[in-house]
Chains A and B, each alone.
Chain A
């Protein structure tokens, strides 16, 4: 079955860019939507955005100015870039399959923003 795995630095300095990749295994990335969601420590879930395998993107309006989501179908992976991070961007970041309900999730990766 399809499995997702997030990867990227666990520590990012303030004002820098957070970069994460989600590797999709056990199935093709094509013809699906793929999402990023985050969860600050002890808090609820926040949708960041999603991308279709063709490259069309949809972002949370509150983050839109700082977010870029991209897809690489040849590598069966998609990526998240979040610019100008601050401490409030510290969270567990999840990738998931879906552009409506999210039926497959990665295990999540913790990103801390600190100098």
Chain B
């Protein structure tokens, strides 16, 4: 099984901050990684797939990078709507989700 870890687990930030979340895989997953945003009581929303491809309609302040075992989600200038929990997901071998990173004030 491929395991994913995320760091940090919680991130306190302010509007306008540049924030980064790291996702590490227990073995190489090439670029088969997606990022999701989830707000309380809502379904997750896809932000990025194939490590760095932004889903159509997702603001350009979101970006993804990485390959192999280490990946990063970056929000260039945090907006009020971005306070949420972020999950990474690998799809190299079946699916696994990371444990999540909560971004709060």
B83: Cβ under 8 A from any A Cβ:
no
B94 and A45 form a contact (CB under 8 A): no
A44 and B91 form a contact (CB under 8 A): no
CB under 8 Å from chain B, chain A span 42-61: 44-47, 50, 58, 60-61
Assembly CA distance A100 to B94 (angstroms): 8
Assembly CA distance A50 to B96 (angstroms): 13
Q: Residue-by-residue, is B83-105 near A (CB-CB < 8 Å gives 1, otherwise 0)?
A: 00001010100111111100000
A61 and B1 form a contact (CB under 8 A): yes
Which residue of chain B has its CB nearest to the CB of A105?
A: B43
Size category of the binding interface on chain B: 20 to 34
B49: Cβ under 8 A from any A Cβ:
yes
Assembly CA distance A58 to B100 (angstroms): 24
Which of B42, B45, B97 contacts A44, CB < 8 Å?
A: B97
Interface majority SS (helix, strand, loop, mixed), chain B: loop
B98 and A101 form a contact (CB under 8 A): no
A106: chain B residues at CB < 8 Å are: 43
B34: Cβ under 8 A from any A Cβ:
yes
A84: Cβ under 8 A from any B Cβ:
no
CB under 8 Å from chain A, chain B span 38-52: 42-46, 49-50
Given A47-B94, A47-B97, A60-B94; 14 other pairs, CB 8 A cutoff: A44-B97, A45-B89, A61-B94, A99-B91, A100-B32, A100-B49, A100-B91, A101-B46, A101-B49, A101-B91, A102-B34, A102-B46, A103-B49, A105-B45
Binding site for B on A (CB under 8 A): 35, 44-47, 50, 58, 60-61, 94, 96, 99-103, 105-108
13 A-B contacts, Cβ less than 8 Å apart? A35-B95, A44-B87, A44-B99, A45-B89, A45-B100, A47-B94, A60-B94, A60-B95, A100-B34, A102-B44, A103-B46, A103-B55, A105-B43
